[in-house]
Amino acid sequence: MLVDLEITRHDAAYPWLLQWMTTYHRTQQTSTQSVAQSGVLNRVLNRIDPRMHHLQVRTSAPQDGPSHAAHFHFVPGPGRHFLRYRNAFILVDRQRQQNALEINGGEPFETISLTTLYSHRSVFEDIFAEAHKLYQQSQEGKTIIYNSMGTAWQPFGEPKRKRPLDSVALERGVKERIVEDMEAFISSRTWYLDRGIPYRRGYLLYGPPGTGKSSFIQALAGHLDFNIAILNVSERGLTDDRLNHLLTKVPRRTLVLLEDVDVAFMNRKTPGPDGFASASVTFSGLLNALDGVASAEERIIFLTTNHVERLDEALIRPGRVDMTVRLGEATQYQIEQLWDRFYAEFDAGGHAKQRFLAKVKELGLIDSVSTAALQGLFLYNKDDVEGAISMVEGLTAGHKRLEGHVGIAGHVDVK
């Protein structure tokens, strides 16, 4: 007469169900307050309507509030709960095994069991459909950042608000070219599979620090409704096997960001004081993880480096890296884009922008200063046009350090 449904904390829907139960609990409380306005049948059902009595508090701090502010959310705690959902009574049993701790994080293993009459078994599908919809609504407009924990990907911190693609100033046409290439790849899954071609795409972003590599990837992920899985190749303890395993377990609709890939090309034969000269990812291990026999398919990967001269040609061949983009120092077009982003409402006629550009040209900063340095200048002089113009000379110190490293900003090489 009864049917049971078990879900473990390893399943992606586990937190969705807890969130749904919390929301449903609040709905029940609201319905109790308005019971006087309901019909006779609803008042009778409300009297026998079960309530959750074992609660667990989850505390979060609002992003835009004072440091001492806090939000409290009550979720179903360990124990048994009774719910009435669409006139079906459901026993919810949340069990926590204290003696079975997870390897990563030391959290106890948990399960939730749902029990109802066999004739009401269809409510399970409805509950999980509602839970999934509720989760999607809570994540709308946000980008989840994943970090590696052992051999698994775990969300790192709270989801970030999607960054607008227009907030990243690249050379004319560079953003559009990459977005067009990615959209064409995403829509060509069947074409790849029908021809037996591995369905994966690789991009290499290189250039000096502060030119917008990571910011552009974050904005691109938000624009295409993807999440980001970040892995630094220079991370101590990252082995070839672990790298390969992580790249085969990438969450769905997630861009993989491999930072500092040049580390794999450094000489590891000369040991340092601790026995190692660099990270433990090897050149061959990186290549095998990207397109070896055991490498994952259905994957979009971004490689970043500040030292492209250290990379081997074997890495940047088609199949491993299909598009190479240099994000260099700010061109005149990028400087104008950044200025308009910060001061368009204060400089409607564009006269202050022309004076700023004239001073930038006089100091020789075009194609010589990073966009990060310019953004720092504008942030310091927020809403102060004249302050930005008067302080631009302070960027010349960074200009001297960048001499000898100037290349073609925004260069795109498609393979």
172 φ, ψ (degrees, to nearest 5): -50, 125
Last residue of a domain, one of 326, 357, 386: 326
Does 135 fall in a domain? yes
Domain shared by 191 and 277, yes or no: yes
User: Which helix (H) or strand (E) covers residue 190, if one does?
Assistant: helix 189-194
Residue reference for tokens 């088609």: 318
pLDDT at site 282: 80
CA distance 176 to 328: 17
Q: What is the pLDDT of residue 198?
A: 86
Enclosing H/E stretch for 155: strand 152-155
| Alpha-carbon distances of 35 from 40, 44, 50, 60, 332, rounded to whole Å | 9, 10, 15, 32, 66
Q: Are residues 13 and 79 in the same domain?
A: yes
**In this structure, are residues 301 and 202 in contact, taking their beta carbons and an 8 Å threshold?**
yes
74 in the same domain as 20? yes
Find how far residue 398's CA is from the centre of its chain.
31
Residues 339 and 320 in one domain: no
Together in a domain, 297 and 348: no
Give which of 265, 231, 225, 227 is closest to 247, Cα–Cα: 231
113 and 210 in a single domain? The answer is no
Whether 411 maps to a domain, the answer reads: no
d(CA 92, CA 385): 61
| 351 within some domain | yes
Domain count, the chain: 3
Residue 114 lies in a domain: yes
What residue has token string 């698994």?
152
Domain encompassing residue 354: 332-400
Q: Per this entry, what is the length of the chain?
A: 415
Q: Which pairing describes strands 323-326 and 412-414: parallel, antiparallel, or unpaired?
A: antiparallel
154: in domain: no
Q: What span, in angstroms and rounded, lies between the C-alpha atoms of 66 and 102?
A: 35
Residue bearing tokens 């930038």: 360
Return d(Cα 121, Cα 123) in angstroms, integer: 5
Kindly state whether residue 41 falls inside one of the protein's structural domains.
no
Which amino acid, 157?
Answer: G
Distance between CA atoms of residues 71 and 68, nearest Å: 10
pTM beyond 0.75: the answer is no
Q: What is the pLDDT of residues 49-95, one digit of tens each?
A: 556 667 777 777 766 667 677 777 777 778 888 888 888 888 888 88
> Rounded to whole angstroms, how far apart are CA atoms 5 and 118?
11
Could you tell me if 322 and 173 lie in one domain? yes
Domain match, 189 and 167 both: yes
Residues 120, 228, single domain; the answer is no
Q: What is the pLDDT of residue 238?
A: 84
Cα–Cα distance, 286 to 241 (Å, whole number): 10
pLDDT in tens, the chain (415 residues): 899 999 998 888 898 898 888 888 777 666 555 544 455 555 555 555 556 667 777 777 766 667 677 777 777 778 888 888 888 888 888 888 766 555 545 567 889 999 999 988 899 999 999 999 988 888 788 899 999 888 888 888 888 888 899 888 899 889 999 999 999 999 999 999 898 888 889 999 998 888 888 899 999 999 999 999 998 887 877 888 888 889 888 888 899 999 888 877 664 444 445 444 444 688 888 888 888 665 566 789 999 988 888 888 888 888 788 999 999 889 999 999 999 999 999 988 889 999 999 999 999 999 888 898 999 999 999 889 999 999 988 887 655 443 443 333 444 554 4
Q: Are residues 224 and 315 in the same domain?
A: yes
Q: SS3 of 296, please?
A: coil
Regarding whether 250 and 101 lie in a shared domain, the answer is: no
Domain membership flag for residue 407? no
Torsion of the alpha carbons at 187, 189, 192 and 195, rounded to the nearest 10: -110
* Residue 371 domain-assigned (yes or no): yes
The DSSP output letter for 36 is G
CATH number at residue 191: 3.40.50.300
Where is the domain boundary, 309, 326, 343? 326
The residue among 301, 326, 351 that closes a domain is 326
- Return the CA Rg of the chain: 27
Domain co-membership, 304 together with 345? no
Q: Which backbone phi and psi does 79 adopt, to 5 degrees? A: 130, -170
Q: Return the amino acid letter for 209.
A: P
One-letter identity of residue 342: F
pLDDT of res. 186: 92
**Whole-angstrom Cα distance, residue 391 to residue 368?**
17
